[in-house]
Amino acid sequence: MSNVAVTYKGFVLIPLAAFDEGAYAAMVIVEQPDQSQRASGVLQRFSNPDAACRYAIEYGMTEIDRRLDGKARIGPTANPQTVLASLVTLNL
């Protein structure tokens, strides 16, 4: 899973898991359809890189959905455990 780009609704999500301070920091780069890119800061820290990347992808998808829906708030509202549980259910 680590660093695997995912295309979602015309956007490309590139998850990053950087080892930092004894944990893996989840971050995501979002490439828009016009090919401009935006990078998140550190979203959460996880004990392994796959969990960090899964969270980064979920965060990116949520951000895209909210922007397309015209909502101002960005990022998932669920806690990390809820997000990861939903990804396991989806086999991501």
Q: Is residue 53 part of a domain?
A: yes
Model confidence pLDDT, tens digit, residues 15-71: 999 998 899 999 999 999 999 999 999 999 999 999 999 999 999 999 999 989 875
What is the count of structural domains for the chain? Answer: 1
Which two tokens mark 68? 């397309």
Q: Which domain covers residue 84, as residue numbers?
A: 6-89
65: number of Cβ within 10 Å: 13
- The partner residues of 13 in beta bridges, in order of sequence, read 6, 30
Q: What is the pTM of this model?
A: 0.72
28: number of Cβ within 10 Å: 24
Q: Is residue 42 part of a domain?
A: yes
Model confidence pLDDT, tens digit, residues 53-66: 999 999 999 999 99
Exposed / middle / buried, residue 71 (Cβ in 10 Å: 0-12, 13-18, 19+): exposed
